[in-house]
Structure 1
Amino acid sequence: MYISFTNRPKPATDEGTAPTRHGMRTVSSTVVAFGIVSMLTDISSESVAAVLPLYVTAYLGLSTIAFGFLDGLYQGVSALVRIAGGYTSDRVGRPKWVAFTGYAVAAIARVGLLFASGFAALTVVISADRIGKGIRTAPRDAVITASSHPDSLGTSFGVHRTLDNIGAAVGPLLAFLILLLIPNGYGTIFLASLAFAVIGVMVLGLFVPNVRTATASHRGTAAVDTATGGADRAAPRPRFDWPTVTSGPMRRVLAAAGILGMLTIGDGFVYLVLQARSDFAAQWFPLMYVGTNVAFFALAIPLGRLSDRVGRARVFVFGHAGLLAAYVVAVLPMQDVAATVLCLLFLGAFYAATDGVLAALAAQLTTPETHGTGIAAAQTVVAISRFLSASGFGLLWYALGREASLLLVAGALIVAIPAIALLLRPYLSAPRGKNADPGPVPASASGQAAERGRDSS
């Protein structure tokens, strides 16, 4: 299968579906443009994330409990606004500008990193940065959904995540080079982070098209009909249908995402375990993030394509086997270099199989009018559960030690993966046995009836 890049297609909710070519799936240039924005933003955010464990525990001298709390904030505080961001993008039908607001908030928060030097200040800055992420994520994925054909939705998310994670690999590499040249050069890293964040916001504002989603398209049709005297024939404004997001298949997906998220500790903890066993110099620490993200972007498109063929729920659930393997390898008595390489590879495979795939799955199981909110709901559950997981693991590490804590979480994950597979069994296969989404449910249908229609697909 080939991937080609086309000019921005009309969204599926505008006047037909996004164009496809016979025998070839296309990836919209809008997806690529947003991928470049995400790449620049991830250079910014991941350069900070790569040094945060050492900055907090070594440079500032705070405890693993404090790091667990801050890492939990980094993972979970975005949950406070994710649904609001997705809901707003659904209501206004212009998700680009909702996403722009989130990117701008995160860029402004980078300024605070230049002055934050204590636990309280870091808490405020990280919270502001992650709130910006929470605002932008679902609208961004709604733009990708509206710009993609349903048959290749997993592929589109895979392309976006590939570009995104090129930035996620470059960011830690940038941090590594700065620390190599400037010992304890955390201020320089924070300044570089701010510069890339500002560039990302500028690219979004200038080069990403203002894609209309279903709500805006219907509203525009109604306005035209009314203006021409056809008020009675005007298309009704789509009604936001919250049960579509929280019942039927989505209810199971949200439960599965929450349970598995509770068993996903922050990468920083895994890297601290690897560092403790090999005792390498602190300036090499950011390279672990580089290794994970290289594996992520190398596997994102293949696993996205696989999810289109065999089922997105299936790839999402069994992708957690990579997370389990990373936990086990981190504590196995094996050669340190081999353990580190394998651990980073497994972590990258886990993220490639779950991050974009979960967004594609949520879009598959919701209507066009609720894509943004459905994606945000899934991401909110993941963010909250990972916040609790990171905070709890910090306490567990303090009480039991690093290896015992990691093995305990690994044991729980062994039980959870088959249990979640049973929970999502009706949705493990590709929709209708082929590369197609179940299709939008009319906005006038009731939430439960809509979900029954998707259950039968």
Structure 2
Amino acid sequence: MAADDKAESKDSSKSSFKNIFALGFVSFFTDVSTEMVLSLLPVFIVNLPSSGSAALGIIEGIAESLSYGMRVVSGIFSDKLRRRKVIILLGYGISNIVKPFFAVVNNIFEAMAIRVADRIGKGIRTAPRDALLSESVDENRRGIAFGLHRTLDQTGAILGPLAASFLMYVTGLTIRGIFWLSFIPGIAALLTLLFFVQERAAMGQCGFKMLTGIQEALKEDLLILLLIVGVFSLGAFNYSFVLLNASEAGFDYRAIPVFYALINLSHTIIAIPSGVLSDRIGKESVLVMGYGAFLAA
């Protein structure tokens, strides 16, 4: 009996990590698509008629604000519906379908509409996706599960810009051509999600109203964490301006995606080690180390 239980537990663990890898490859393909676009988007936007760095900042600020707001709403609704996958699919679907249409943008208002739609898609998918990741493994394996997912995510974020730079140098593709090409990995992400990601066991009854759900979710420890994250976010900067500065410094626009790939490489190198470390010494300690490094920088 004990041997049977052990074998069943092992099979369950393998099945759970299949879900982690499936979600990881969804993020991988999405990030290949996204970073092909984002690594060139700042240069593209500031060169639109009546645009500039201020317009880029406004677009990014509005888009990111709406993205973070949608995370709260989508997380609550995924709990209420007791279904994660359908909301995750909606979020990834919006983002991966709208991004290639930057190729037909001719003014900042069109650029803002697509960028906002893309970030709303990200906001819709993030909370239920992270919840599904958590539900797919035992609590003592969540650190490495998120580390694996983050590594696949960031690997896509490295390959996307490198692919964009390579294709522009070798084939002569324009920025708009790269935007159109981003549709291919985006579709690969949606197919992976549709056919390989599994919904986990149904959650308990969740018949709460939205405000009640927010009150239930915002426990004291989480409020403290959100406050800390909010304070540190005030000091954070958008990488779009790093790429824009590289362009203004005289670098060939085709080489700029390589800078973005190097930024994302640093995230990839640390993802799995930090996940494993959080399982061993606790998530709070790793968070302190991460924010300490942020302050030191």
Q: TM-score, normalised by structure 1?
A: 0.58
Equivalent residues in 2 for 1:294-309, closer than 5 Å: 294-309=265-280
Do the aligned partners of 1:158 and 1:304 also contact (CA within 8 Å) in 2?
Answer: yes
Do the aligned partners of 1:90 and 1:213 also contact (CA within 8 Å) in 2?
Answer: no
Kindly tell me: are residues 271 and 311 of structure 1, through their superposed partners in 2, closer, same or farther at Cα, counting changes over 3 Å?
farther
Select the residue among 107, 111, 119 that pairs with 2:96. Answer: 107
Select the residue among 46, 50, 66 that pairs with 1:77. Answer: 66
Unpaired segments ≥5 residues, structure 1: 1-17, 220-236, 327-457
Do the aligned partners of 1:173 and 1:286 also contact (CA within 8 Å) in 2?
Answer: yes
- 1:259 partner letter: V
Structure 2 CA distance, aligned partners of 1:131 and 1:313?
Answer: 29
User: Could you give the per-residue CA deviations for residues 302-337 of structure 1, whole angstroms, max 9, x where no partner exists?
Assistant: 0111122223233224313444455xxxxxxxxxxx
Task: Give the superposed CA RMSD.
Answer: 2.6
- 1:70 partner letter: I
- For residue 41 of structure 1, what is the aligned residue in structure 2? 30
- For residue 438 of structure 1, what is the aligned residue in structure 2? none
- 2:96 partner letter: A
Structure 2 CA distance, aligned partners of 1:53 and 1:315?
Answer: 33
Structure 2 CA distance, aligned partners of 1:188 and 1:115?
Answer: 10
Kindly tell me: are residues 27 and 319 of structure 1, through their superposed partners in 2, closer, same or farther at Cα, counting changes over 3 Å?
farther
- For residue 311 of structure 1, what is the aligned residue in structure 2? 282
- For residue 284 of structure 1, what is the aligned residue in structure 2? 255
Instruction: Name which structure has the greater RCO, CA cutoff 8 Å, separation 6+.
Output: 2
Q: TM-score, normalised by structure 2?
A: 0.87
Equivalent residues in 2 for 1:53-452, closer than 5 Å: 53-58=42-47, 62-181=51-170, 185-215=174-204, 241-273=213-245, 279-324=250-295, 326=297
Structure 2 CA distance, aligned partners of 1:276 and 1:185?
Answer: 19
Figure out how many residues of one structure are paired with residues of the other and give that number.
Answer: 286
Q: From the CA coordinates, give the structure whose radius of gyration is larger.
A: 1
- Residue 271 (structure 1) shift: 3.7
User: Could you give the per-residue CA deviations for residues 1-41 of structure 1, whole angstroms, max 9, x where no partner exists?
Assistant: xxxxxxxxxxxxxxxxx9469xx999611010000011001
Structure 2 CA distance, aligned partners of 1:319 and 1:304?
Answer: 12
Do the aligned partners of 1:40 and 1:197 also contact (CA within 8 Å) in 2?
Answer: yes
Aligned to 1:117, the other structure's residue is in SS state coil
- Residue 166 (structure 1) shift: 0.8
- 1:102 partner letter: G
- For residue 411 of structure 1, what is the aligned residue in structure 2? none
Kindly tell me: are residues 74 and 44 of structure 1, through their superposed partners in 2, closer, same or farther at Cα, counting changes over 3 Å?
farther
- For residue 28 of structure 1, what is the aligned residue in structure 2? 17
Do the aligned partners of 1:28 and 1:147 also contact (CA within 8 Å) in 2?
Answer: yes
- 2:118 partner letter: D
Which of the pair is proportionally richer in helix? Answer: 2
- 1:153 partner letter: R
